[in-house]
Amino acid sequence: MPHSPVVIGVDSSTQSTKALFADAVTGRTLAVGRSPHRVTGSAGARESDPEQWWHALRDAVAAGLKESGAPASAVRGIAVAGQQHGLVVLGRDRRPLRPTLLWNDTRSAPQAAALAATLGGPEAWTARTGSVPVAAVTAAKWRWLRENEPSTAERCTAVRLPHDFLTERLTGVAVTDPGDASGTGWYSTATGTYDTEILQLLGIGPELLPNVARTGGATVGALTPEAAEALGLPATTVVAAGTGDNMSAAVGLGLGGAGLLDHPVLSLGTSGTVFAATRTRPTNPALNGFASADGNHLPLACTLNCTLAVDRIATLLGLDRDDAAPGGEAVLLPYLDGERTPDLPGASGLLTGLRHATTPQQLLGAAYEGAAVTVLRALDEVLSACGLDPASAAATSRPLRLVGGGAQGRTWVETVRRLSGRPLVLPTGTELVAVGAAALAASAATGADPVTLARDWGAGRGRELPPVERDMEAWDRISGVLDRAAPALFAGR
């Protein structure tokens, strides 16, 4: 009996690769293969060897294929969603010249600040690219490479983002999509093309960059014979352009032109991310004004310190991650790796308000609160970018979709609920980046709209939690520390 058609959505993240096998019609998850990544570096450096991503993709696909029980011949399409911003530099043999500078590598902070001061300043950058350069942005990492490893930059014949690198390894075609390209700092969300003046400023030729597909679900081609053999898949498997991880999560949630618009999402992972899909092009220097995978826009704010930082505090205190209580008078800003929002790349953690009566559980709760308030403060900016008044009933009544690993944790959910005062939705889909990539793969294979597919698959639906009274006392206390102490304490570090 013939098997239903299958698509594969690949989530190549900072820590691992996941390959989700889904029924192309119903979206039912058949299996998820996994393989870990290794990240190295200290004192602001965060690097990974791109070749391990390819090996991890092969291992994850093999594991998923075995677990799914589907024959390889049933696979119709594949798409890769990858961690944003990482700088992959390739030589003439299309092999990496050095490990990738990852999105959370903060060594490029001085280069980002220097770039932001050019071309008319932050507002001018936002008008052109949608975003002001920060340490995470690829353009700043390229400038760092040119200044610190000029011989590597000179030998570079191709520059890729992580998902571009894997898509090219699958197809032999150098292509990206508007969503991931909008996080480079050299792609204009105003024109939908690379900004030639910025490329000249950076000293990077357009021939080094991949072509930009119309959408993340656009068909790039089929697997090369080498890739088909390595993955154990048919050479007829269609490959989509793919996108960045945040853009793919939006697709997986059914957010976009054919689905929900202007509905906020909070992703609790290694980083804390808040975003919404909208038709309004964002021009707020406080945000990343990204493009979405489906041709719309994705205003987004990202913090560096979220679940990983809070878990580190739990380890230091010798507590289980859910053995926490509200922080009381204590305020703990867990900026253990610098911070991206607010833009404090040299920041370290800050603890204040400590009393004799403060318990370890309260200290851990304060870490949760500090991380949550940091990302929730950016929520108002995202809603404003969508054309909404953040304080209006139209905005506050819209449920906040809580996703990522932290959304599975009781304390994270309770903390966000208490500090936001908003209704929450906890989607049933737990691998939303991979689900979004699977929808992009299905779109490339069938021509259907990926957002419509994902919405019909239903991964974005889930348990609804009504609002509770907002804890304004904690909110004001933590916000006060952020507003008064943080700039003075962290400036110049």
By annotation, the residues acting in catalysis are 245
Q: How far apart are CA 204 and CA 208, in angstroms?
A: 7
DSSP E strand stretches across 287-355: 288-291, 297-303, 331-333, 350-352
Closest CA to 162 of 251, 266, 78, 90: 90
DSSP E strand stretches across 414-461: 424-427
Amino acid identity of residue 360, one-letter, is: P
Closest CA to 268 of 414, 382, 469, 481: 414
Q: How far apart are CA 217 and CA 23, in angstroms?
A: 17
**107 vs 46, 160, 338, CA distance in Å?**
9, 19, 10
Token code pair at residue 53: 């991503």
H or E segment at 436? helix 432-446
Q: How far apart are CA 180 and CA 310, in angstroms?
A: 28
N-term to C-term CA, the chain? 65
Q: How far apart are CA 292 and CA 110, in angstroms?
A: 28
Peptide bond into 342 cis (omega under 30): yes
Q: Are strands 297-303 and 211-212 parallel, antiparallel or unpaired?
A: unpaired
Q: What is the largest CA-CA distance in the chain?
A: 70
Measured in degrees and rounded to the nearest 5, phi and psi for residue 256 equal: 150, -170
